[in-house]
Amino acid sequence: MKVEISNFGKAKDGSDIRCYTLTNENGMMVSLLNLGAIIKDIIVPDKKGQFVDVNLGYDNVEGYYDNAESLGSFVGRNANRIGGAKVTICGIEYKLEENDGENNLHSGSNRSHYMLFDAEVLEDEFATRVRFMHTFKDMEQGFPGKAELSITYTLTEGNELILEYRGISDKDTVINPTNHSYFNLDGEGDILKHKMYVNADKFTAIASNMIPTGEIVDVENTPMDFRKMKEIGEGIDSDYNYIKIARGYDHNFVLNGTEGDISKVAELYSDKTGIAVEVMTDLPGMQVYTANFLENKKGKAGVIYNPRAGVCFETQYFPNACNEKNFKSSIISAGKEYRSTTVFKFNIK
């Protein structure tokens, strides 16, 4: 395993943006930026031995500063939507930015992927890792508490990309980060022919504003049933109410398995390249998002990204979990460490 550090350009404050590229013995490469702890590239071999970048992104700094769609991003403090853009913690109501209608999405417009992170390379006999760290000030993004968040990326010789999240705050606050990479296992086109599996019997119902109602719905006999692998495009434009609200898939699945134990929760596969990625996590929920609102974005090599250009597997607590009493809360007590792990394992089938 080796790591190369290069310059990627200048941040808005004039400091250098660094790119950390991990390469394993199979030739798999993962490039990471200290701007927002972003995953820039994930390059893996296909069934013909050719290398494919399966992660949507940009070739330059300007692209990542114009990244409202969060391509490749670490999202914190809170991923997903908070209803009414407010949260009550210890009896105090905190008003957040309304940047998604009346809701707060991905912590507002001052998102973590526009922030510079401290970075360190960690090497031992087992692996090479890159850890990115950022301290959020008290009331930054509208949340209480000085919160220290970190994400450690590890690339293994088994073609696993391991994401380890840690967080701690000096006040009770919301901590619910995720990764927002858009996967396209063909490296081009759309993902409608990709086959997907999701290990979930249920999902969280949403209202017309995309906020969960608190109801848990069975996937049986609905387009939400991915317990057996099927093409994403099969039900993406159906007249099923929850699909119509989201203009495709943009839903939180209630994952089967035991929270706290890392288990397989999803798989994505392309017949064209033979590339598959398995998703494993110890978290209770996962938002599957099919880039419904990605439109006319100039990505890598000048390619224009449009809806269905990629699919995200956002492992997390349920949307609006800081407010919805039926969900496990994403409010973390002062001094208590938040910990979670997500793994993306790539292979050929």
Catalytic residue list: 180, 314
Q: Where are the alpha helices (DSSP H) in 162-222?
A: none
What phi and psi values does residue 177 have, to the nearest 5 degrees? -80, 165
Instruction: Give the Cα separation of 10 and 61 in Å (integer).
Output: 7
Cα angle 316, 141, 340 (rounded to 5 degrees) comes to 25
Pairing of strands 147-155, 128-136: antiparallel
- Would you state the structure tokens that stand for residue 223, as one six-digit string? 């387009």
* Length of the chain counted residue by residue: 349
Nearest to 183 by CA among 61, 111, 266, 244: 266
Instruction: Give the Cα separation of 240 and 243 in Å (integer).
Output: 5
CB 136 within 8 A of CB 77: yes
First to last CA, the chain: 24
Residue 28, C-beta contacts closer than 8 angstroms, at least 6 positions apart: 42, 43, 44, 45, 155, 159, 346
